[in-house]
Amino acid sequence: MSNSPRRSFLKLVAGSLACPAIVRTAWAQAYPNRPVRLIVATAPGGTADLLARLACQWLSDRMGQSFVVENRTGASGNIAVETVIRAAPDGYTLHFSGPVNAINATLYEKINYVEEIAAVAGLAQAPHVIEVNPDSPIKSVPELIAYAKANPGKLSYGSAGIGTSNHVAVELFKMMAGVDMLHVPYRGTSPAIMDVFGGSIQLVFDILPSSMEYIRSGKLRALAVTGPTRMESLPDVPAALEFLPGYEASAWFGFGAPKHTPADIIEKLNSEINAAFADTKMKARLADLGSVPMPGTPGDFRKFVADETEKWAKVIRFAGIKAAQ
């Protein structure tokens, strides 16, 4: 082969090797060119659904295509995960991730969320709030711990069901405080709150956004929030770790995608979601919903979910929690 044909051949080979990269880049630049669906594991109206719709509106405005919430309830959030796992890895089906996914990795052996779903971006964290009836004699976390130690098994707490975030949040509290309280599972937190109103149970660890109005109106007494700090929206309510060092049990929400979704698309979504945290109106809206932003890279979010999975695995095994049948 002469030098000239050989040079032409090498250019052709180099060009063919570069084509996939060019195609991937062009694909990412064109993304999205049709509506994107965000699969949410909860029913409309709850905290996750509200945050998902807020994020979808932001992304729709920023990216020029509709981002639409699709509620897929059932099987403790696993139906939503399976929907995304089976979807094409093209960025047009996303998952709205939350603490249930980290918890289910231990309760349901067949689903490893960290391995099956590609991390895209965190959106927000929201603490639970430890709350009692305003007529309760318990007025603080130290009083709660003291009463529970003096009366093992007599305090009852409600949750949204076995293996839910507010269930394991209490089990972590029990483990760290060395107390025993009776678990009363419900189908959702709302009926548990109604029974706190009525006195059938003594307390609930509800996610802050859904209890904010009850607290502000005086229908519930907030003993503490379960996040790493006090919340600006409830500055007079202490963080539980002020009395129980190291205790933290926040709910969290973010975006995932099918495994093998192109990295360029994930990075583009991550960039647009992180841009929301610099927007004054978005920050104010998140604060109104009792949550704080979760900025970071896809790698940051992946590590966060992996750490949460490990954390709740220890609690689930210690408490002997089994998945509801």
pLDDT value of position 76? 87
pLDDT value of position 323? 86
What is the pLDDT tens value at each position of the chain, 325 positions in all? Answer: 445 555 554 454 445 455 444 444 555 568 999 999 999 999 898 889 999 999 999 999 999 999 999 999 988 899 999 999 999 999 999 999 999 999 999 998 777 788 899 999 999 999 999 999 999 999 999 999 999 999 999 999 999 999 999 999 999 999 999 999 999 999 888 999 999 999 999 999 999 988 999 999 999 999 999 999 999 889 999 999 999 999 999 999 999 999 999 999 999 999 999 999 999 999 999 988 889 999 999 999 999 999 999 999 999 999 999 987 6
pLDDT value of position 109? 75
Q: Which residues pair with 157 in a beta bridge?
A: 183, 203
pLDDT value of position 114? 87
Cβ contacts of residue 188 below 8 Å, gap of 6+?
160, 161
pLDDT value of position 325? 63
Give me the residue label for tokens 């063919």. 16
pLDDT value of position 4? 54
pLDDT value of position 293? 96
Listed in order, the ranges of the chain carrying CATH 3.40.190.150 are 28-125+252-319
Q: Give the integer Cα–Cα distance in Å for 222 and 216.
A: 9
Q: Give the integer Cα–Cα distance in Å for 192 and 180.
A: 19
pLDDT value of position 209? 87
Cβ contacts of residue 13 below 8 Å, gap of 6+?
none
Listed in order, the ranges of the chain carrying CATH 3.40.190.10 are 127-242
What tokens appear for 112 in the block?
């490893």
Which helix (H) or strand (E) segment holds residue 278: the answer is none
CATH T-level topology, domain 127-242: D-Maltodextrin-Binding Protein; domain 2 (3.40.190)
First to last CA, the chain: 71
Residues in the chain, total: 325
pLDDT value of position 244? 97
pLDDT value of position 92? 98
Q: Which option is the CATH number for 28-125+252-319: 3.30.9.10, 3.20.20.70, 3.40.190.150, 3.40.50.1370? A: 3.40.190.150
Coil vs helix vs strand at 314? helix
